[in-house]
A and B are shown apart, each in its own frame.
Chain A
Amino acid sequence: SQKIEQNSEALNIQEGKTATLTCNYTNYSPAYLQWYRQDPGRGPVFLLLIRENEKEKRKERLKVTFDTTLKQSLFHITASQPADSATYLCALSGYSTLTFGKGTMLLVSP
């Protein structure tokens, strides 16, 4: 069955460092992969989309990589700030649906 795995444990880093979050998947061949941010008590907010034929995508301090051979996406936040603290969800697109991972909580301490 299809499976999406994200680090279940919270990632604690210090302000200014680069945060790297991992999304692994099995039994899946997504055409697109998306990353969302979710703050407590709020709905997810779209961050980045990367296509299967793209290796890397950047947006300001964010960078996403997509390795279809390894079946893995990495999400990087450079020069992290306490305001980046949130849960980050990866989502794989299939026919008319998005399947979400459980998310990884990122805590950036000053």
Chain B
Amino acid sequence: DTAVSQTPKYLVTQMGNDKSIKCEQNLGHDTMYWYKQDSKKFLKIMFSYNNKELIINETVPNRFSPKSPDKAHLNLHINSLELGDSAVYFCASSQDGSNNEQFFGPGTRLTVL
């Protein structure tokens, strides 16, 4: 059983489009995250949710909107996609907060043309 899953694995789209990435964890964790890893491999936190509530919202354009319908899911919706949004997006989860190990999904490679 996959612990943290993301769909789709690859996403190629045109500038200006709106797209969503889905994430699910079956570990029973309370906290979920979205990270962005750019072309230089720098992994940066975007959002953190604890029990469906937003905890961390780093400096991210408001075109990015996370949604957590329940504790096991954290989806990422992106409006008006720009070239600079091209990156690999990772979902992760942890039992409770950042002091515990985080379990990462396989990543979604987003390419904006």
Contact = CB atoms under 8 A, between A and B. Distances in A.
A97 interface: yes
Interface string B83-113: 0000000101000011111111111000000
Contacts, number: 55
A28 interface: no
A93 B99 contact: yes
Nearest to A103: B41
Interface residues of A, number: 22
A99 B45 contact: yes
A96 B43 contact: no
Interface of A: 31-32, 34, 41-46, 49, 87, 89, 93-100, 102-103
B12 interface: no
Contacts of A42: 106-107
